[in-house]
A and B are shown apart, each in its own frame.
Chain A
Amino acid sequence: MAVAVAHAGAVDHRDHIHPEPEGFIAKYIFSIDAKVIGVQYMVAGLLFFIISGLLAEVVRTQLLTPTGAIVSNDTYNAVYSLHGSGMVWMTIIPLVTGGFGNYVMPLQIGARDVAFPWLNLVAFWMFPVAGVILFSSFLIGAPDAGWTEYPPISVQGPPGTSLWCVAIFLIGISSTLTGINFLVTILKMRAPGMTFTRMPLFVWAQLATAMLNMVATTALAGALLALFLERQFNVPFYDPGRGGSPLLWQHMFWFYSHPAVYIMILPAFGIVSEIFPTFTRKPIFGYKMIAFSSIAIALLGFMVWAHHMFTSGMAPWLQLPFMILTMVIAVPTGIKIFSWMATLWGGKIEFHPAMLFAIGFLVTFSFGGITGVFLSAVPVDLHEHGTYFVVAHIHYVLFGGSMFGIFAGLYYWWPKITGRLMSYKLGVIHFWVTFVSFNVTFLPMHWLGLEGMPRRVAQYRPEFQFWNDVASVGSFFLAASTLILLYNMAQSLLHGKKSPPNPWGARTLEWTISSPPPYYNYKTIPAVLKNPYNFGEPLPYLGIEPQVDEDGKAGVDPIPAHA
């Protein structure tokens, strides 16, 4: 990115730097620094990822045999319900918004922190509390109606279902506050010269996500409050025997949870949009189209929720508009996919682990997107609804999409966050084990679904056993692949090579400062002259001044190592 010194000569109030907090607790536990909060989100999210992942392994072990050997049917229901809830609300959403959003977004717009640091602190601490509440529901009878908790089953469900309501309500409030915080940060705190069309694409993605978080999440809060009141105080909202309607829940739930799909995937789009140009050494293809299509997806995302309800007895005249609008969403998504492919075209591709995961993302997410178009067609959906085809689809977009994006982002920003490099070789092995075992796990589920195996069952007909066993064995390798990542991370933290400020030669602002960045991020707020994907233009950049540390000596060369 072309960088110049801001406000030459004049002392600007932006140059005011707050002193770094002293002491372990102020520095690392109740910090208001967005970078520390981002890392806190990542650590907690990774922990919940492991817990939810182990629950998935219980599911797959149970399904090794048609009669289900290891847990009772009731426990099985609780296990898959908490697997889904844990992965969606305690893993992916906090990691992509709270984790990468907090760490990377303020750096990329040249800000010292988010707009409301104390609000950020409050929003973060709601997340681990919500996670503990969610998983502690196992102690009093965990929710057993799946992550969607449809009434009337959820109304009659075990006591833990109320804890589920509280936990998701809390994480929802946290998301709303983070959304407000990020919107104000992005709209008001960009470095001088960073117009909208000079914003990095990750920031565009966070902008669209923050809009969704701010508007959609309180609708879920309403639905959860109503469910909680019905369970605890017998207030009729969903009970059809007393004039309520189970469909009401589905409308309110999906009005949030369909946009939540985009909350989970848009930041991953942003992550790979940073990685593709960096590792192809090319300007990104269709910058504006990628940026605007994020906003288009966010807006369209509010108008498609009822495609989850084609078989729910919804008014039939609503089916066609929702089907068409759902298919329309494939257009902005396709624009992104083709733009990324065009970025790869003719590029000098470096198969770094981050790039491998980004390419893997392109393959698996496109696959999941295409099965999504299948499911949006009413006649197909009537056949596939509630089968393993849906399970396969959701895992291709959430694991093959969001989680691959998270892995890519982790490899990409790890040196910036920790100041150390990860093992390249272990990263490549991690990618290939993950990619292959992912497909071995989830590809057969399409066939199981097409043959009619229903989702959320603890036992199944014997003829489905072969592909279930294949999926289960694949999932064991998938779990093992995470160990490679954890080993690589530990190895890097203990013995990793020190990272230069800009190990990949990327051109967004965060790479112009030391790794890890100082507390105040930027000694001088940089001024931005161009969008950050101008690879191929001659170096050095225009009007550049090296960022220096507070004592003025440990200057950092902002020019990329091998650009």
Chain B
Amino acid sequence: MAVSSFNQSHDAVMARYDAVDDVYRETRDMRLLGFVLFLVSDVVLFSAFIFAYLYLRNSVPNWPPITNTGHQLPRFDVAFAAVNSCVLFGSGATMHFAMENWKHLNKPAFNLWMIATIVLGITFLGGQVYEYQHVAITWAGSTMGATFFTLTGMHGFHVFIGIIYLITLYIQANNGVYTGSKYFGLTAGTLYWHFVDVIWVALFYLFYLM
């Protein structure tokens, strides 16, 4: 079984994409725009907390901050987070392959890459839980903990929703909900998953590298 045989031309894929009735085309256009706008408003939610993080970070002389008892909090463990980030970024790549295979009508490969994406997503969440258990700071203990746990928690919640979404899409795709022309649900799922990835790029830089 070829896992990524994009044996059809780009034109053939696009021709299939366009070979839909007018109602579906207009509905797809509207849903795509609506979904992108939803992601934009979600970016603003993350941006609000990122602003809060930068604001609080810049309002004290030291970062990690020094607590009221006088000791400086430790930095986060970059090595573990880097490995876990690679898991999530890898899932973005597998999602891309899954989508491309669907467009090229290679359903077995689509299934394989989808399962890989879901497994990587769950692995990332497991890594997050592990990190939460081993990190030296607490949610309510400092502004560092407040911003870290709130932002990564919000992101983790998005990943969790994303995994449920992907499982739903997998089941739907294997029950004939989508065709080679009509697959807006998969497009939206892919967009959402890449969105979760991109947010993590920002969070990884802000908390571990900056």
Contact = CB atoms under 8 A, between A and B. Distances in A.
Nearest to B35: A180
A147 interface: no
Interface string B55-93: 110011000010010000000000000000000000000
B30 A189 contact: yes
A214 B47 CA distance: 14
A184 B38 CA distance: 11
Interface stretch (A88-96, A221-229, A382-390, A422-430): A221-229
Contact of B41 (A217, A236, A237): A217
A225 B157 CA distance: 14
Contact of A237 (B22, B47, B56): B56
B34 interface: yes
B18 interface: no
Interface stretch (B125-133, B137-145, B171-179): B137-145
B100 to A, nearest CB: 27
A562 interface: no
Contact of B143 (A116, A179, A183, A236): A236
A180 B59 contact: no
A183 B44 contact: no
Nearest to B22: A13
Interface centre among B34, B65, B145, B150 (most CB of A within 10 A): B34
Contacts of A237: 52, 56, 143, 146-147
Contacts of A255: 48
Interface centre among A223, A225, A235 (most CB of B within 10 A): A235
Contact of B56 (A221, A223, A241, A248): A248
Contacts of B210: none
Interface string A199-234: 000000000000000111111011101100100011
A180 B34 CA distance: 6
Interface centre among A237, A251, A255 (most CB of B within 10 A): A237
Given A115-B30, A218-B41, A219-B44, A252 B51 contact: yes
Contacts of B56: 237, 243-245, 248
Interface of B: 21-23, 26, 29-30, 33-34, 37-38, 40-42, 44-45, 47-49, 51-52, 55-56, 59-60, 65, 68, 139-140, 142-143, 145-147, 149-150
A252 B68 CA distance: 26
B202 to A, nearest CB: 15
Interface centre among B40, B44, B47, B149 (most CB of A within 10 A): B44
Q: Which 3 A-B pairs have the closest CB atoms?
A: A222-B48, A218-B45, A243-B143
Interface in A162-191: 176, 179-181, 183-184, 187-189
Interface of A: 13, 16, 115-116, 176, 179-181, 183-184, 187-189, 214-219, 221-223, 225-226, 229, 233-237, 241-245, 248, 251-252, 255
A215 B47 CA distance: 11
A243 B145 CA distance: 11
Contacts of B40: 214-215
B150 A229 contact: yes
B158 to A, nearest CB: 13
Given A218-B44, A235-B150, A243-B142, 20 more contacts: A13-B22, A180-B34, A180-B38, A184-B30, A184-B33, A184-B34, A184-B37, A214-B37, A215-B40, A215-B41, A219-B47, A226-B49, A229-B146, A229-B150, A236-B146, A237-B56, A243-B56, A243-B60, A245-B56, A252-B52
A222 B146 CA distance: 13
16 contacts: A13-B21, A13-B23, A184-B34, A187-B33, A188-B30, A218-B44, A218-B45, A218-B48, A233-B139, A236-B142, A236-B143, A236-B146, A241-B68, A245-B56, A248-B56, A255-B48
A248 B37 contact: no
A222 B52 contact: yes
Interface centre among B22, B29, B49, B143 (most CB of A within 10 A): B143
Contacts of A176: 41
Contact of B49 (A189, A222, A233): A222
Nearest to B32: A184
Contacts of B139: 233, 235
A251 B23 CA distance: 44
A245 to B, nearest CB: 5
Say what secondary structure dominates the interface of chain A. Answer: helix
A234 B55 contact: no
A223 B41 contact: no
Interface centre among A181, A233, A236 (most CB of B within 10 A): A236
A517 B61 CA distance: 64
Contacts of B48: 218-219, 221-223, 252, 255
A242 B41 contact: no
Nearest to A181: B34
B150 to A, nearest CB: 7
Contacts of A248: 52, 55-56
Contacts of A229: 146, 150
A176 B143 CA distance: 28
Contact of B55 (A215, A233, A251): A251
A222 B46 CA distance: 8
Contacts of B146: 229, 235-237, 244
B114 to A, nearest CB: 27
Contacts of A184: 30, 33-34, 37
Interface centre among A183, A217, A219, A222 (most CB of B within 10 A): A222
B143 A219 contact: no
A183 B37 contact: yes
A149 to B, nearest CB: 16
Contact of B34 (A116, A217, A218): A116
A116 B45 CA distance: 22
A346 B94 CA distance: 68
A215 B32 CA distance: 17
B127 to A, nearest CB: 23
Contact of A188 (B33, B65, B143): B33
A321 to B, nearest CB: 18
